[in-house]
Amino acid sequence: MKITVIGMGNELLSDDGAGICAARHLQTIFQDHPCVHVEASTWGGFRFIDLLAGYDAAIIIDAIQTGRKPVGYIHRMHAEALIHSVRMISFHDINFATALSFARALEIPMPEDITVFAIEVADIHTISENLHPLVMNAVERCVE
């Protein structure tokens, strides 16, 4: 079974870099693993087709700010829950669900199992490469 892990975010916008940080940690752990590929990405839309094509399963790690859970809480959900993510919708690109539908319509093999770990964050607006300590703790728990 081939698995891809995609860490999403922008590491220059404080906690928004949580997914990227997780991906960087996982890249060192799985660098020589023949069945696991880890990618850090700042893009969604059509790029998801390239990132997911040919894998049996996928894990996506990203930041989320719902305000309904404490900072550092890790939401676990199925991929459809990401349809309304800021990076999943763009005026210049397609959303996540459309990318999956488009790929399947073109018979590009997409994973049937896509799990999302979304880390509840405090700040995604301040220009900083530092994560809130509770977010960093959540990244470490995701990596485990």
Domain assignments of the chain as residue spans, ordered by start: 3-143
Confidence (pLDDT) at 106: 94
3-state secondary structure of 91: coil
Q: What letters, b where the CB count within 10 A reaches 16 and e where it falls short, cover 34-70?
A: eebbbbbbbebbebbbebbeebebbbbbbbbbeeeee
Task: Copy the structure tokens of residue 95.
Answer: 């959303």
> How far apart, in whole angstroms, are the C-alpha atoms of residue 82 and residue 44?
11
Instruction: Tell how strand 113-120 and strand 74-78 pair up.
Output: antiparallel
**Which sign, positive or negative, has the C-alpha torsion 33, 142, 118, 132?**
negative
User: Model confidence over 6-51: pLDDT tens digits?
Assistant: 999 999 999 999 999 999 999 999 999 999 999 999 887 788 899 9
Kindly indicate whether the domain formed by 3-143 is annotated with CATH number 3.40.50.1450: yes
| pTM attached to this predicted model | 0.88
